[in-house]
Structure 1
Amino acid sequence: MFLKSLKIEEGESLIRNISFRKGINLIVDETETRSRKESGNNVGKTTVLRLIDYCLGSSGKNIYQDPEFRGRSNSVVENYLTGNNVCITLVLKDDLDIAASREIVIRRNFLQRSDKILEINGEPVKSKDFPECLKSLIFNSSVSKPTFKQIVSKNVRDEKNRLINTVKVLHPATKYEEYEALYLFWLGIDIDVSDRKQKLFAHKKIEEDLQKRLKKEKTISQIKQSLLVVDSEIEELEAKKDNFSVNENYENEVQQLNLAKAKINRLSTQIARIELRIELIKESAGELEDEISNVNVEKIKSLYEEAKFLMPSIQKTFDETLSFHNGMVLEKKKYITNELPSLESELLGLNKQLEDYLSQEKALAASISKSDTMNEFQSVVLKLNQSYESKGSLEEQKRLWESSMDKLGAIKEELKKIDQGIDSLDDKIQKRVSEFNKFFSKLSNDLYGEKYVLSADKNPKGYELNISSVLANPGTGKKKGEMAAFDLSYILFADHMGIECLHFVLQDQIENIHDNQITSILTDFVENNNCQYVLSVLRDKLPSDIDVSKFEVVSLSQNDKLFRV
């Protein structure tokens, strides 16, 4: 799938219509930066990449909230996009050389509710269905993991993680099991167990946390031994009780008292179990609150601003990063505390029942206590009831332990089967990596005289992809070259293996790559292979031997910005 065109319209007015070609596509900023009087910012060269990303499902906020705008919102662009009927149309095409090949037309605007436009091939699509529709149309895949956004993350390199990492292109908090699903998909191994595996790891952590809490009270072995002692006490007390000879009325009252105490025992056990569950949930929620409240915002913000001064390429503001982090924490808290209302309602009802039976017990005990001759019998019955209460509490703890161990055992067994199924694909995985390296090592060698190698390594949570090179810590420019070699090699690999893929790479900040490598990438490789390389660049940062006019798809300047506002 290739980029065919990107159109920007305001109502009936056409603002831009950018046509893309096979090979190199340059989004050129004409700002003269060598004089040091101009920065090259704010004309919209990176925004073109982000508009494409927006049509592929991003939130679009980075179009006007970005370090490119010196860490604050570009209010002119934001107000223009959200206050007018600005519509973006992206056309993707299976083959630019075949006029009749399939096209996917995506239209989006920046308005909300009834004014919102979100269409694929002229048909309105709900926001929640949008990524799945694109995933099905482009990659012919219906599995839930990896997500469409995760799959295309390496094709749009405009954000921090994707500009400094070659394969770890997702959010820093992304777990190994999520990366495994993505990496296998890149290799053309589209399995339907990745989503299940990620959910199992989440449930596994819940049960492990519960067992840690239970262990603070008593281990399962201690509970079993305590139950043996209590059962022995009950047997002795029951024998003593049977030796008493009491009148019929008294015995009837004692039976009612025992029945009330038994119900009190069961209710107390249920209440203890629910209170433990509520306490665990609140404790977990409190830990999540600490993740927000324990952050020294001003101190870290100061460090972040200093880091941004030293590294202008940082693509996310501190507030965005903090907001994203806090948002994730709040979502986790919302999920964890979801069942609190029903538990608290159930607890309220049980406590009401307990109060009723406690009143009944008190009345019966008062009636029985009037008999002076039955004090010893009453003492035995009291001890017996206490023993039964202890037994009920211990049995509930035992039940929680055994239930958790059964669940954890089942989770581990299912994870083991899933991993065995994935491990059985190891030969296929390694062969796919080997095929990829035929392209990757050759292109990296052509660029730098070094053969980069991709490897698929197994860790306890799944497969991960790693890249090795002669230099342990290549410089920024060389890292950009590694990314370019990886992204472009992947397109060749995917075509070779018959894997559906996007044939375009959107790259920002290519100026960090040395002139020799830029020339090699652009003229020697991209122009001679079935791919598109879309670059946002400053004209005066390109090598002098590059014929810019041949590859330029849009020219921007301080006098002719992207949105012309």
Structure 2
Amino acid sequence: MQLVSLKVTNNGKVVRDLAFNQGLNIITNSGTNGNQVGKSSVLRVIKFCLGTSGEGLWKDPDSGTTNETVKKSLTNSEIKFFLTLKKGNTTISIERFLSERNGRIYRLGKINGVSYNSTKKFKGKIAELFNHTAEQPTLSTIFNRFFRLDKSTVNNSYRFNNTYTSNDMYGLIYSYLLGFSGHEFLNKDYDYKIEAKLQEERKRSLLNGQDIIFYYNKLGEIDDRISNLQEKEEDYELKGVHEDVLIKLRNIRKNISNLSTKIANLEVQLNYNQKTIDEYLSKSYEYNKEVITKIYEEASILIPNLERTYEESVNFHNSILNRKVEYVSDRMSSLEKEVEHLKLELNTNLSEEQYIFKSLTSQSNLGSFLLVEKEIQNEKEERGQVSYIINEIKTIEGTLINIDGKRNSNAKILSKHMDNFETKLNSLNDSCKKISLSTFKDFSLFFASNFDEYQKELKFSIVNADKIFGDGSPRAATMCIDMSFAKYAKDNALDLPHFTLQDYLESSDEDKLGSLFMTANSQSIQTVVSILNDKLYELKSYFDEKDTILILSQEDKFFGL
């Protein structure tokens, strides 16, 4: 999918009408001060039209400062955006704008003339346009590979997403980007690993720092004590005590023992759930303005699409954790009700036991006999708790064996798809090598991969990444890889962006950036860049005047405000 045009209207009046080139598209400024004129906003508007919240349009991502004038104009439906894209021979028209009512900002829009007045429905339609149905990676994560608008990650060639993205997730991401035929099975393995991790965490919580042999040893000790107590019990001669009374007493005590064991087991589950809640709560963040710059680079989890401020990312992260806490709390509530019911039943049996006990206290040897029985009951209750832990661990280990079996079967299927994978990776690497070699001259950047059937893992790395150092090279390297993916997607007609958006280019070396500008044009890689005119002046020999599609200034800012 490629960009065709972007139009911005203010109260129906056209204030911007951009037509995109097939290759390089430069957005810059005139005058001595190119800051805060809306260069980056052009890129963020494109991203907004593809489903983001749009808050970065009025909130500076670096300082967190809100431009109230822009926010007011954007959220009162005055300003509307019209993005036109091309997918094969099909034209796609997107209209999007914001409207604030009763203190709440609504994201409204149309796609090909059809209204989608909820964010969920709008994003669902965007996903449909990109034929995105995979649970992982999300479409916003995919966009982050092509849209380099976050300062904290613009220098990361491989790990382009937020810092919480795992190696396993990167395996999924690159598999999807390549159009790997085995992606479905790789996704399955990812789910299996998550399930196994949850089982391991539950196992660790139940063992509580001990090895399983500790509980088997404890069980043996309890059984030994019960055996000795039962021998003592048999030695007592009870005279004058009706057999039916003793049977009744023993039945009541059996009920008491069973109820106590059930309660103890449920309380083990409650304790595990409370530990889970405590773990979730320990992962929540407090918003601290004094350290916002540092923490912002580490902010956001569960969603790949970082929205401009640390506070917003933290709030979303905490809301997800809160929902998890609510879910576990609901489960705890039902368990607590069950415990309460069992305790009422237990108290009834205890009262009956006490009544019978009082009626028999005058009987010969009965007091000592009952004390032994009480000890046996206590030991059996403790045995029930230990047995519960052992049985749960056995169940978990059985589940883990089952998961491992599924992973082994899945890995065999995956291995059959590896020829398809290698073909696709080689195709991507052809672009990576050509673009990076023309940029760095002495070496090229490309992807290496390994599928370990034993470990059931698909791993990636970038060859020669260790040669990327200094202030200017990392930013050029990321742009090389981004452009390579855009070219690969276009050459293979994949349902991905066939363009890339690039911001924060000022740190890049002039010769490398100039080479990338020329590559964008010579290979028709649609590349939209936001760049200060000071930097651009040093690159004037690398591009043509027609490549500049928008020049902004302090007197003529992007939104026309």
Would the TM-score normalized by the shorter structure come out above 0.5?
Answer: yes
2:184 aligned counterpart, secondary structure? coil
1:205 is the counterpart of 2:206 = no
Pairwise CA distance, 1:3: 0.7
468, 482, 489: which one pairs with 1:487? 482
* Match of residue 259, structure 1, among 241, 251, 256: 251
**C-alpha distance after superposition, 1:294-318 (max 9, x if no partner):** x7947645867999xxxxxx99655
Q: What pairs up with 1:448-527 in 2 under 5 angstroms?
A: 448-449=440-441, 450-457=443-450, 462-469=457-464, 472-523=467-518, 525-527=519-521
Report the CA distance between 1:217 and its aligned residue.
7.2
SS in 2 for 1:165: coil
Identity value in percent: 24
8 Å Cα contact 1:25/1:535 also seen in 2: yes
The question of whether the paired residues in 1 share the 8 Å contact of 2:55 and 2:307 is answered with: no
- In structure 2, relative to structure 1, the CA distance for the partners of 1:23 and 1:462 (3 Å cut) is same
Equivalent residue number for residue 54 of structure 1: 48
Matches within 5 A, 1:17-416: 17-30=17-30, 32-33=31-32, 38=33, 40-67=34-61, 70-95=63-88, 101-111=89-99, 116-125=107-116, 126-138=118-130, 140-190=131-181, 191-216=183-208, 219-228=211-220, 230-231=222-223, 234=226, 250-292=242-284, 297=288, 300-301=291-292, 319=311, 323=315, 326-327=318-319, 329-330=321-322, 333-334=325-326, 336-372=328-364, 374-416=366-408
SS in structure 2 at match of 1:483: helix
What's the TM-score once normalised by structure 2's chain length? 0.86
Separation in structure 2 between the aligned mates of residue 409 and residue 379 of structure 1, nearest angstrom = 45
Question: Shift of the alpha carbon at 1:44?
Answer: 0.7
Q: Decide whether the 8 Å contact of 1:144 with 1:192 is kept in 2.
A: no
TM-aligned CA deviation for residue 559 of structure 1:
0.8
Find the residue that maps to 1:265 and give its secondary structure: helix
Q: Which has the larger displacement, 485-494 or 73-82?
A: 485-494
Q: Deviations over 1:463-518 (max 9, x none)?
A: 33322228534233222222222222223333444533311111112233333333
Q: Normalization by structure 1: what TM-score?
A: 0.85
Q: Is the 8 A contact 1:183 1:464 kept in 2?
A: no
How far did 1:390 drift?
Answer: 3.2
Distance 1:496 1:546, change over 3 A: closer
Are 2:526 and 1:532 aligned?
yes
Cα offset for 1:218? 5.6
Per-residue CA shift, 1:334-387, capped at 9, x if unaligned? 455452322222222222222222222222222232434533443443343334
Does the 8 Å CA contact 1:24/1:533 hold for their aligned counterparts?
A: yes
Cα 1:237–1:287 change in 2 (3 A) is closer
More deviation, 163-172/206-215:
206-215
Inter-CA distance 12–368: structure 2 relative to 1 (3 Å threshold): farther
In structure 2, the CA distance between the partners of 1:219 and 1:549, relative to structure 1 (3 Å rule), is closer
Which residue number in structure 2 is paired with residue 98 of structure 1?
none
The Cα shift of 1:13 comes to: 3.4
1:558 aligned onto 2:551: no
Say how many residue pairs are matched.
Answer: 544
Q: Which runs of 5+ in 1 are unaligned?
A: 96-100, 308-313
- Read off the aligned partner of 2:98 and give its amino acid letter: F
Cα deviation 1:271-297 (Å, max 9, x = unaligned): 22222222223223324433447x794
RMSD between superposed Cα atoms in Å: 3.4
